[in-house]
Each structure stands twice: as C-alpha cells, then as structure tokens.
Structure 1
Amino acid sequence: MSVIKINAITVPADSGDELAKRFAARAGAVDGQPGFEGFELLQPTDGRNVWLVITRWADEESFEAWKASASFGHGHRKPEGDDAPRQRPVGTGAELWSFAVADLTQGA
C-alpha cells in the first residue's frame, strides 16, 4: 500500500517564489528512485505561509532507502567550496507528516 510523505515547510511571504525556483531546478531528480510514485509542490492560496511538498512511495522501505541514498544527500547538501554561492534557507521551519492511503474496502 502506498505511503504519502508531506513536508510542511513554513515559508515567509517574500520567499515562496525562491522555494518554487529551487524545487524546479531539481525537478525529476527523485523520479528514478525505486518505489517512488509521485511528487507535488503545493503553494498556499488562502493566506497561509506553509507550503506542502507531497511525495508518494510504494512503501515505507522505499522512502527510507531514498533518504539514505546519495541522491537525497546531493539534493539536500550545502554548497561546497569557498567560492560556492551560499544560499540562505528559504523556510523558517518544517515538519514531516506521514500517511497511508486508507483502505475504503474494509467493512464494506
């Protein structure tokens, strides 16, 4: 059964465009990971300042394997070298939420 991971990132109003730009620069980077089923970046439209990064995985093991992979490390690393541009963090906080797709056939 699929599992859903939601990274709820608190982003100041003036930083949302930068967050979207950074995700766009890495679009497709996770696509080839075993067990990966999908990705969405949700931008708030109701005045909230929390963006949702939603990923869907075949199972918990696939998600954990990705977190332990070089690909994850590469995408979440800080720039290297003295001449590397330093990017300020976009978010001011984040929470990882975990869900399973509910089985609606139980009890039917």
Structure 2
Amino acid sequence: MSIVIINAITVPSDSGDELAQRFAARAGAVDGQEGFEGFELLKPTDGRDQWLVVTRWRDQESFEAWMASPAFGHGHRSAQEREGGDAPPPVSVSSEVWTFAPAGGSQPQDG
C-alpha cells in the first residue's frame, strides 16, 4: 500500500517564489528512486505561510532508503553547492514531516 509523505515547510511570504524556484531547479531529482510514485509542491492560497511538499511512495522502506541515499543529499544541495560554491541562505523558517496512508473511500472517476 502506498504512503504519502508531506513536508510542511513554513516560509515567510516574501520567500515563496524563491522556494518554488529552488524546487524547479531540482525537478526530477527523485524520479528514478525505487518506490517513488509522485511529487507535488503546493503553495498556500489562503494566507497561510506553510508550503506542502507532497510525495507518494510504494512503502515506508522506499522512502527511508531514499533519505539514506547519496541521491537525497545531492538533490537537496543547491546548484552553487554542486559546483563547489557556498550554500544560499535558507528560505524556510521550519518544517515538519507528516506521514499518511490512504484510508480508502471513493476514488475519482472519469466522467
């Protein structure tokens, strides 16, 4: 059964565009990881300051294997760092990781 991992990132309102750009710069970095099923970056539209990074994995073990892999560290470094430069300042204030499993119920159907 799939699991959903959500990283809720608290971002000051003036840093949201920078966060989106950083995610766009590393788009696809996790795509080939065993057990990875999907990714979405969700920005708030209701005045909140939390952005959600939503990933879906085949199972908890696949997610944990990715976190322990060199690909995780590489994917979380900036382009400047990968080229030997300094890390840019963080855009987030804090983050929390939430784990969920689908609870069943109805699935969307094509109309």
Same fold (TM over 0.5): yes
Q: Which residue of 1 is the match for residue 46 of structure 2?
A: 46
Q: Which residue of 2 is the match for residue 17 of structure 1?
A: 17
Distance 1:104 1:60 in 2: 22
Three-state SS of the structure 1 residue aligned to 2:44 is coil
Q: Which residue of 2 is the match for residue 90 of structure 1?
A: 91
Percent of paired sites with the same residue: 66
Distance 1:43 1:62 in 2: 26
Cα offsets for 1:33-67 (capped at 9, x unmatched): 01000000000000000000000000001000000
Cα 1:80–1:56 change in 2 (3 A) is closer
Q: Which residue of 2 is the match for residue 37 of structure 1?
A: 37
Q: TM-score scaled to structure 1, two decimals?
A: 0.89
Contact 2:74–2:82 (CA under 8 A) maintained in structure 1? no
Q: How many Å apart are 1:84 and its aligned residue?
A: 1.1
Q: Which residue of 2 is the match for residue 26 of structure 1?
A: 26
Q: TM-score scaled to structure 2, two decimals?
A: 0.87
Three-state SS of the structure 1 residue aligned to 2:48 is coil
Three-state SS of the structure 2 residue aligned to 1:51 is strand
Q: Which residue of 1 is the match for residue 57 of structure 2?
A: 57
Unaligned runs of 5+ in 2: 107-111
Q: How many Å apart are 1:104 and its aligned residue?
A: 3.7
Distance 2:65 2:87 in 1: 28
Three-state SS of the structure 1 residue aligned to 2:22 is helix
Contact 2:3–2:99 (CA under 8 A) maintained in structure 1? yes
Unaligned runs of 5+ in 1: none
The runs of 4+ residues in structure 1 deviating greater than 3 Å are none
Q: How many Å apart are 1:75 and its aligned residue?
A: 1.7
